[in-house]
Chains A and B, each alone.
Chain A
Amino acid sequence: MSEPAEDDIEFITAPVRDGLLDDDDDWSVEDEAAVVADAEAAVAALRDNYLVWVREDLAAIEAAFATARENPAARAEAIGRIAGIAHNVKGHGASFGYALMTTVGGSLSQFCRRVKEPDDAQLEVVRAHIEALEAIIVNDLTGEGGATGAELVALLRDAVAARGG
């Protein structure tokens, strides 16, 4: 492969809108920490909304799971739908203090993407993830969920390993 000559590479300083970033020498690390704390408080205020959102996600996952179980011809499409919703669960959980939701959602999404069209035994692994998500909500398992969370994660990891995910 031929390499571009040095003359073919142009370095450009990106323009900045006038007045956009006037310096403020009095701004301190403490000020910045206060801004982050304000933003974190604003996110914490959304936590009740989050629990509504994640229940909607879980209901959609359960509906897709029912389709996958009852209609083998639609199984691959339903599992793909679960993978997508679980991916969103993964992306939101820890932002609202539910890191375990992110872990379980990530595991479910990854498993569904790998198996694509699961057999009945692999469907049980999907079911185990759904039950874990329900347990997190019902028991309000914040953070990593303590000992219960560790046990759930270990059980899911073993199930995934056993069923070829």
Chain B
Amino acid sequence: MGMTPEQFEEITVLIVEDNVHTVSLISRILRGFGVRTFVSAADGSEAFNVLKSRAVDLVICDWNMKPVDGLRFARLVRRAADSPNPFIPLIMLTAHAEANRVEEARDSGVNEFLAKPISPAMLLARINSVFLHPREFIKTKDYFGPDRRRQNRPFGGPDRRRQGPKEMVVSDDEMKRMIADEATETGPAKDRKTA
């Protein structure tokens, strides 16, 4: 079962996106779900400052932004010593849905990846996933973020996830399925509290 409008009313969402039209689209969808409180930022640096200044429950972040892009922002949130909330749920948006892009986003510590064009159903599925079926976080010497394995199964071996494609924990078939799923799915800090 998914999140209810009452639950959505309780959350504050930070939209990190430099394209104002995309901000309009995302905020319109979120309002449809019941979200009442938004904050937006035009790049990763501005977004990081927003996180330091106020409580946020979910970040929806574009990839291509300047000067600080979504990937660098995700790494800052997860690993910077002054990160205000390293555990915050982070959904990465991009119109690039190639496998290497998904892998890069995953390795930066994002919880979910969503290919543009955005659809309400797929955005809702990602939000439900991060809040209702959260993955455990993993901390190693070179990674901090959600468990990059999609299934929540016991882990008994060493961390081999950065040793090359053949040793990826997400299998090729699973990655292809993720890409296929994405392929078929059809942004100054401002408070926007709706009535």
Chain A residues engaging chain B, CB cutoff 8 angstroms: 1, 3-6, 8-17, 19-22, 24, 27-29, 31-32, 35-36, 38-43, 45-46, 49-50, 53, 87-88, 90-95, 99, 102, 106
Tell me if B165 counts as interface (CB < 8 A to partner A): no
Query: Using Cβ atoms and an 8 Å threshold, which residues of chain A touch B10?
Result: 19-20
**A106 to B94 CA separation, bound complex (whole angstroms):** 12
Contact with A91, one of B33, B95, B157 (Cβ below 8 angstroms): B95
Contact of A99 with B186 at beta-carbon distance under 8 Å, contacts A6-B158, A15-B87 already known: yes
**A21 to B132 CA separation, bound complex (whole angstroms):** 8
Question: What residue of chain A has the Cβ atom nearest to residue B135's Cβ?
Answer: A14
Query: Using Cβ atoms and an 8 Å threshold, which residues of chain B touch A29?
Result: 1
Contact with B157, one of A6, A42, A49 (Cβ below 8 angstroms): A6
**A99 to B183 CA separation, bound complex (whole angstroms):** 12
Chain B residues engaging chain A, CB cutoff 8 angstroms: 1-7, 10-11, 19, 21-22, 24-25, 28-34, 55, 57, 64, 87, 95, 116-121, 124, 131-132, 134, 136-141, 146-147, 155-160, 163, 186
CB distance from A143 to the nearest CB of B (A): 10
CB distance from B24 to the nearest CB of A (A): 7
Query: Using Cβ atoms and an 8 Å threshold, which residues of chain A touch B118?
Result: 95
Most buried by A among B11, B117, B134: B117
* CB <8 Å contact, A91 and B116: yes
Contact with B116, one of A10, A15, A42, A95 (Cβ below 8 angstroms): A95
Query: Using Cβ atoms and an 8 Å threshold, which residues of chain A touch B30?
Result: 39
CB distance from B74 to the nearest CB of A (A): 15
CB distance from B13 to the nearest CB of A (A): 13
Contact with B121, one of A5, A9, A11, A36 (Cβ below 8 angstroms): A36
Query: Using Cβ atoms and an 8 Å threshold, which residues of chain A touch B4?
Result: 24, 27, 31
Contact of A38 with B134 at beta-carbon distance under 8 Å, contacts A6-B157, A24-B6, A53-B21 already known: no
Contact of A12 with B136 at beta-carbon distance under 8 Å, contacts A46-B24, A53-B21, A92-B22 already known: yes
Most buried by B among A3, A14, A43, A93: A14
Can you list 8 A-B contacts with CB-CB less than 8 angstroms, sorted by A residue number?
Answer: A8-B141, A21-B131, A22-B7, A35-B2, A43-B28, A88-B22, A95-B186, A106-B95
Contact of A20 with B2 at beta-carbon distance under 8 Å, contacts A8-B140, A12-B136, A43-B25 already known: no
CB distance from B107 to the nearest CB of A (A): 15
